[in-house]
Amino acid sequence: MTVKETAPRYALKKKVFTYQDYLNLPADDSHYQLIRGELVMTPAPKIVHQRVKHALISPVSAQRSGEVFGAPCDVYLDEYNVLHPIYSSLPKKIKK
């Protein structure tokens, strides 16, 4: 006699993080991003990252074509997506 036993599949439900959850994180030296409701820890950028960042920021600053912001700077896209880009820039308003 053979007995087959089938165990039910248990799916672990992942917590979906929101912007409010993100804001409630403890203040420490960790760098977090919120991507599609998932909390993602990203390491600090390496030296080569810093060099690339400087190379990208310099032309924008020199031309005064807008404002440049370096990390950490939250870029809020929606309730479930908050990013920390290496840098972000805001162009000057176009005059009509």
Tally of domains within the chain: 1
| Domain assignment of residue 43, yes or no | yes
Which pLDDT belongs to residue 6? 66
| Domain assignment of residue 58, yes or no | yes
Which pLDDT belongs to residue 95? 44
Q: How is residue 63 written in tokens? A: 């031309």
SS3 39: strand
Q: Which band of pLDDT confidence, cut at 50, 70 and 90, is reported for residue 79?
A: very high
Residue 60 parent element (H or E): helix 47-63
| Domain assignment of residue 10, yes or no | no
Q: What percent of the chain has pLDDT over 90?
A: 25
- pLDDT tens column, 2-26: 666 666 666 667 889 999 999 999 8
| Domain assignment of residue 24, yes or no | yes
Q: Which band of pLDDT confidence, cut at 50, 70 and 90, is reported for residue 43?
A: confident
| Domain assignment of residue 13, yes or no | no
Which one-letter amino acid corresponds to residue 40? V
Q: Give me the domain span that covers residue 34.
A: 19-91
| Domain assignment of residue 76, yes or no | yes
